[in-house]
Structure 1
Amino acid sequence: MGNPLLDNLKNKHVITYISVIVRHWIAPPIPERQDTMWIRKTAKDKQAGEGTPIPTQIVSNEEIPPLPQTEDQKAVEQKIRELADQFASKLGITRREFLKTSGGMVTGFLAMNAIHGCAYKVTEDEALDEAAYLEGRPKNQFIFDAQTHHVKDSITGPMMFRKLTAKAGLNPALLDADLGRGTLHRGNFVKEIFFDSDTVMAIMTGATLGPPEHYALPAEEMVKTRDMVNAAAGSQRMLSHGLANPVEPSFVPEGMDWQVEELGIDGWKCYTGNPSGAWRMDDEAVAYPFFEKSLELGIKNISLHKGLPLPGRFESYFNVDDIMQAAKDFPDINFIIYHSGMKHMMTMIPPGESGIDEDGNLPWTTDLVRMQKENPDVTNVYAELGAVFGHSVVTHPEICGHLMGQLMDGFGPEKIIWGTDCIWWGSPQWLIEAFRRYQMPEELKDKYGYVDLTAADRELIFGRNIAGLYGVDIEAARTEIPGDSLSSMKSAYINEGPEPSNTQYGWVAV
């Protein structure tokens, strides 16, 4: 059986899509920074001879210009190297060797505390003694990443809209760019997610941007990754989204039937701000037939990219103002709001500015929290942390406090979902460690009434919440996964001496 969604779209929207992107996504042009050059983060780390276990500057995924390191970020990077020299000398190993150990990861958070204040629960003993690190590490923690990515094997350079970005002058460095074969593909995905991190389960997701032939990873490839990983493991380690675009007439019902019945998808991923056909969740003519058909097919989890808008006339479709009405009208569907609806990617906020006002307002995320508090009977909306937790934690730690404080206030720990948006940012292990160790700053607790995250809260957010939505039996998984083949392969990898990449696969400004 063919893919009717792909068959019907092959020629229909290619020209339209290109023109839409050129006119509304990359226009008006953003002035190129004259005082910086771009370099692959992997190339920068290679030049330095080593990477750092936590990022020390924002990494761009090629869509927008990365900002240069802030002075604080430079100080953190310098402090990491200073501490690593001290600790490596005591242990009789090189700094590069040390930075690839658990002590190297700990050193990253010691350096963050030294520059930003005590935002992380960490001790020097953990850096020097692996036993101390393991003693403080949560035992049998179930980490289920709700947002992971890789690209299809045919992509070895920038994707279509990123090439257009380069040609328009926003990022000329992309014109002849090579991703580095394999870095964003399936094999390295498995290593970064399952071997070099404590992630035990993950959802493969994607993006409906443009016609299907231009997707970074089509639904059939997403499902293929899920099935390959699960078959290799001998247990359920991955779920997979399908890709939903209700604007297309062929999607409801033909495209939906194909993805559910033929591919066996586990949930939907949507882009309401798709430049080739934007839509609103509260549109009764477009969205509601999609929701109704989803329930008919037994799909109850719909994840939506909200916030982090593409510039242009479709920006409003990334807003969160269409969520509550849809959630009220479809109480049997769980709406998982990726990026917690945050409007500003941290790369878009100049160094030294927080992007928030005196009241701690986070554009769109604060709106989402307010709407949830105004509608306490709505119990089917969830806030996901992909990208926004990681970007705020390394660039504007104050924003991280506002993000977590407001989500805890409006949604509670039961409605916050762990997601990382990796493999774009390398292995998620630094994010896992950051979330385990992050402590709400006292000044934010005093001024805004934010609360600390408890160990029980972190357990819910890390995995219990998303597992419950997808019907994953955590206790059964905890019994099955430690003895599966993927765990055996990971043990062999660790015993032979793990080689974490300590890098990210985007661009940095230098």
Structure 2
Amino acid sequence: MLDNGALVVDSVSHCFNHAEENLKHPHAQRWNDETFELGEQLQPEKYVHPKEVFHRDHSVEELERLLFLESQVDYTNYHSLPLDDYFHDGLVSREKGFELRDRNPNRVSMYVDINPLDDDAVEQVEYYVKEKNVEGIKLYPARYQNGQDLSLQLNEDAVRPVLEKCADLDVTSVGIHKFIPFATAPVKYFRMSDVEDAANAFPELNFEVIHAGFSFLEETVFAMASHENVYANLENTIHMACSRPRKFARSLGEMLYWAGPDRIVFSGGATALHPQAAIESFWDFEIPEDMRAGNDYPQVTDEIKEKVLGKNAFRLLGKDPEKVRKDIKGDKWEQKRQERRETGDFPAEPWSTYDTPA
């Protein structure tokens, strides 16, 4: 919760498993290393994991303490990841997400990973939507099988049945990883043209583009301007408010100029990144005057910041923020927060609530 009482929604949290025994593919260690290095580049030094904390199997208990004690996040949307071609458990398991939601039903939503190449992918969508009440699904634009990187664009035949089932079931949103290539997958898989095709073909679905604005900015803002069902999810991107403020100013400014403030959502990227630095930096963020004057970017008002940090995500998830506020009032996390406020220890220091590595 912000100091003015506005609720904060972290639109992507993960419970990563970076442990050595989880590595499956020869490039999996490279993926882990690149993720750690990205955190070093994007965050203030005190928010960077100690390496012994990062390279391990993160627990649900650690994630919830990270979100609700070490940051101002009030509500989160957990994304499991379908990367079992690289990691034995997919890197971010479904099971941890359901455990997190079961432990915190008033504070957690979930997008479940789907691999369209699975023979039962369509059946999985139906099961997880109907039986497990997930709000959305999470897709990746590439896979690795039989020694080759494979394209899984939203406009390809393998993916269409999954999107059709999502549309039939009134799924809230389809989250698609874009903009940040991984391992050896070609950069072209991470561009935006397939998102526009899918947005046209399935106007009843929302497409939440993860890491929006990190790269391919012009493609992103034109897609958002042309399609009201395309959302920008700022996972990783928003951390540039800490480390590369002028690049972030351009990304945010172009989104606001072309598409307005109502389809941009905050994501902290836990447990790979720490959400609090991004929350604080974004709340204090202003687009430099020379960039505003030269590009007609709007001023980033407190109203816009509240939309990005929470209101837009609640609307996308179909949640009433006032009901969420009522439901979490006085719960265990609010009680723990109040205890820490009284001792001046909220938010807690980064990674201080984590279990001590063995």
* TM-score (structure 1 length as normaliser): 0.60
Q: How does 1:33-72 map to 2 (within 5 A)?
A: none
The Cα offsets for residues 312-333 of structure 1, whole Å up to 9 and x where unpaired, read as 3533211111111210111110
Asked if 1 retains the 8 angstrom alpha-carbon contact of 2:155 and 2:197, the reply is yes
Letter in 1 for 2:92: L
- Pairing partner for 1:187 from 46, 53, 61: 61
User: What is the distance in 2 between the residues matched to 1:220 and 1:422?
Assistant: 17
Label 1:203 to 1:313 Cα distance change in 2 as closer, same or farther (>3 A): closer
Label 1:366 to 1:491 Cα distance change in 2 as closer, same or farther (>3 A): same
Label 1:309 to 1:473 Cα distance change in 2 as closer, same or farther (>3 A): same
1:248, distance to aligned residue in structure 2 (A): 2.1
User: What is the distance in 2 between the residues matched to 1:166 and 1:423?
Assistant: 17
Label 1:503 to 1:196 Cα distance change in 2 as closer, same or farther (>3 A): closer
Q: Tell me the equivalent position of 1:395.
A: 243
SS for the counterpart of 2:142 is coil
Matched length: 332
User: What is the distance in 1 between the residues matched to 2:15 and 2:138?
Assistant: 15
1:264 aligns with 2:133: yes
Q: Tell me the equivalent position of 1:140.
A: 5
The Cα offsets for residues 126-153 of structure 1, whole Å up to 9 and x where unpaired, read as xxxxxxxx9xx6411111110111135x
Q: Tell me the equivalent position of 2:97.
A: 222
The Cα offsets for residues 209-263 of structure 1, whole Å up to 9 and x where unpaired, read as 2348431222232111111122xxxxx100111111112222122x223322333
User: What is the distance in 2 between the residues matched to 1:313 and 1:178?
Assistant: 28
1:479, distance to aligned residue in structure 2 (A): 2.6
1:439, distance to aligned residue in structure 2 (A): 0.8
Letter in 1 for 2:204: D
Q: Tell me the equivalent position of 2:164.
A: 292
Letter in 1 for 2:112: G
User: What is the distance in 1 between the residues matched to 2:291 and 2:15?
Assistant: 36
Asked if 2 retains the 8 angstrom alpha-carbon contact of 1:144 and 1:462, the reply is yes
Asked if 2 retains the 8 angstrom alpha-carbon contact of 1:282 and 1:322, the reply is yes
Q: Tell me the equivalent position of 1:242.
A: 112
Asked if 1 retains the 8 angstrom alpha-carbon contact of 2:80 and 2:138, the reply is yes
Asked if 2 retains the 8 angstrom alpha-carbon contact of 1:148 and 1:423, the reply is yes
Asked if 1 retains the 8 angstrom alpha-carbon contact of 2:167 and 2:202, the reply is no
Structure 2, gaps ≥5 residues long: 38-50, 353-358
- Pairing partner for 1:206 from 46, 56, 80: 80
1:408 aligns with 2:256: yes
Q: Tell me the equivalent position of 2:293.
A: 446
Letter in 1 for 2:11: A
User: What is the distance in 2 between the residues matched to 1:464 and 1:167?
Assistant: 36
Q: Tell me the equivalent position of 1:13.
A: none
Structure 1, gaps ≥5 residues long: 1-133, 231-235, 344-363, 505-510
Asked if 1 retains the 8 angstrom alpha-carbon contact of 2:314 and 2:320, the reply is yes
Q: Tell me the equivalent position of 1:279.
A: 152
SS for the counterpart of 1:203 is strand
Asked if 2 retains the 8 angstrom alpha-carbon contact of 1:306 and 1:341, the reply is no
1:466, distance to aligned residue in structure 2 (A): 1.2
Q: How does 1:329-478 map to 2 (within 5 A)?
A: 329-340=201-212, 342-343=214-215, 364-373=216-225, 375=226, 378-390=227-239, 392-426=240-274, 428-478=275-325
User: What is the distance in 1 between the residues matched to 2:271 and 2:345?
Assistant: 18
Query: How large is the Cα RMSD of the aligned pairs?
Result: 3.0
1:165, distance to aligned residue in structure 2 (A): 5.7
Letter in 2 for 1:186: V
1:300, distance to aligned residue in structure 2 (A): 2.7
1:268, distance to aligned residue in structure 2 (A): 0.7
Asked if 2 retains the 8 angstrom alpha-carbon contact of 1:220 and 1:263, the reply is no
1:495, distance to aligned residue in structure 2 (A): 3.2
Label 1:139 to 1:157 Cα distance change in 2 as closer, same or farther (>3 A): same
User: What is the distance in 2 between the residues matched to 1:158 and 1:341?
Assistant: 33
Letter in 2 for 1:335: F
Letter in 2 for 1:383: A
Label 1:484 to 1:179 Cα distance change in 2 as closer, same or farther (>3 A): closer
The Cα offsets for residues 398-431 of structure 1, whole Å up to 9 and x where unpaired, read as 10110110111122100111111122123x1221
Asked if 2 retains the 8 angstrom alpha-carbon contact of 1:148 and 1:422, the reply is yes
Label 1:445 to 1:294 Cα distance change in 2 as closer, same or farther (>3 A): same
Asked if 2 retains the 8 angstrom alpha-carbon contact of 1:146 and 1:420, the reply is yes
User: What is the distance in 1 between the residues matched to 2:328 and 2:89?
Assistant: 35
1:160 aligns with 2:26: no
Letter in 2 for 1:304: I
* TM-score (structure 2 length as normaliser): 0.83
Label 1:180 to 1:145 Cα distance change in 2 as closer, same or farther (>3 A): closer
SS for the counterpart of 1:322 is helix
Label 1:278 to 1:145 Cα distance change in 2 as closer, same or farther (>3 A): same
Label 1:342 to 1:450 Cα distance change in 2 as closer, same or farther (>3 A): same
User: What is the distance in 1 between the residues matched to 2:28 and 2:326?
Assistant: 48
- Pairing partner for 1:317 from 171, 180, 189: 189
1:297, distance to aligned residue in structure 2 (A): 2.6
Label 1:209 to 1:314 Cα distance change in 2 as closer, same or farther (>3 A): farther
Label 1:218 to 1:274 Cα distance change in 2 as closer, same or farther (>3 A): same
Identity %: 20
1:328 aligns with 2:193: no
Asked if 1 retains the 8 angstrom alpha-carbon contact of 2:20 and 2:56, the reply is no
The Cα offsets for residues 447-475 of structure 1, whole Å up to 9 and x where unpaired, read as 22212111211121111111112111112
User: What is the distance in 1 between the residues matched to 2:262 and 2:207?
Assistant: 14
User: What is the distance in 2 between the residues matched to 1:259 and 1:440?
Assistant: 41
Letter in 2 for 1:147: V
1:298, distance to aligned residue in structure 2 (A): 3.1
1:166, distance to aligned residue in structure 2 (A): 5.1
- Pairing partner for 1:501 from 342, 349, 352: 349
